[in-house]
Structure 1
Amino acid sequence: MIFLFTVILCIILAAMYIRYFPAGNVKCAKTLSHPIDSIVIVDVRDYNQSYNDPIQGAINIPFAYMKRRYSDISHKNIHIIASDYLEKNMSIRFLRKRGFKIIGYTLTDCKCQ
């Protein structure tokens, strides 16, 4: 019984870690510090959010479609545009597993410097 409880607890903690624990070594930035031609801006917000507030030059791939469309992203440095921390964390972890280098992110409601 204790073994089953431990397994279930580990599964729940792993799921919470993937979703809510901040992805490390990625800084929030309102403005891009790298030249625009050396990075790819990936907008992981839903289509209806990105349609109302478009980002010039960004590739719009909502996180729900990331698994089938991540091959559309070129292997340059990536800057993520997300609407909340959940989208940001999940997108960064997903793209890092596939060998992409994430250099920064911007949250649409963020007040970072």
Structure 2
Amino acid sequence: MLLLIIIVASVLIALYKRYFPVTGVHRLVETPPAADSIQLLDVRDYNQSFNNPVPQSINLPVAYLNRNIHELSGSRVHVVASSKLEKNMSIRILRRKGIEVAGFTLTERQSPPKQDKGKGYCYGI
């Protein structure tokens, strides 16, 4: 019984850290210009950031954030992420390391595009 409680608690904590929104951080529609006090941090994967680069930002994917956090020079950052999951994970990691997050920007649309389910849609007819 105790083992079941431990497993359920650890699953709930993992889900909370990934999917529950982070409070106190504001979303901006567009990435702000780089300033002296705020550093732009791109937490998207390398292949996504290569196709759509953010000027004057440091590209440090979420998977490498813990071990390469020393590359950040400022104490305030603006996070650029492609999904809510990347945003939540990176902001929690940064806050744990004592870095203030000034805001975030999501680069991809969060709702899937509407598809025409008519006849011949998948064949382009």
Judge same fold: TM > 0.5, yes or no.
yes
Instruction: Choose between structure 1 and 2: higher helix proportion.
Output: 1
Partner of 2:100: 101
CA distance in 2 between counterparts of 1:33 and 1:87 reads 19
Q: Which amino acid aligns with 1:8?
A: I
CA distance in 2 between counterparts of 1:68 and 1:79 reads 19
Q: Deviations over 1:41-85 (max 9, x none)?
A: 000000000000000000000111112211010233110000001
Alignment of 1:1-113 (within 5 A): 2-31=1-30, 36-110=35-109
**5+ long unaligned stretches in structure 1:** none
Q: Which amino acid aligns with 1:24?
A: T
CA distance in 2 between counterparts of 1:35 and 1:20 reads 29
Greater C-alpha radius of gyration: 2
My pick for the range that moved more, 21-30 or 47-56, is 21-30
CA distance in 2 between counterparts of 1:33 and 1:25 reads 18
Query: What TM-score, normalized by structure 1, do the two folds share?
Result: 0.89
Classify the secondary structure of the residue corresponding to 2:68. helix
Query: What TM-score, normalized by structure 2, do the two folds share?
Result: 0.81
Classify the secondary structure of the residue corresponding to 2:88. helix
Q: Which amino acid aligns with 2:95?
A: R
CA positional deviation for 1:23: 1.1
Classify the secondary structure of the residue corresponding to 1:19. helix
* RMSD over aligned Cα atoms: 1.7
CA distance in 1 between counterparts of 2:33 and 2:50 reads 25
Q: Go from structure 1 to structure 2 and tell me whether the alpha carbon gap of 1:89 and 1:31 turns closer, same or farther (over 3 Å shift).
A: same
Of structures 1 and 2, the one scoring higher in RCO (CA 8 A, sep 6+) is: 1
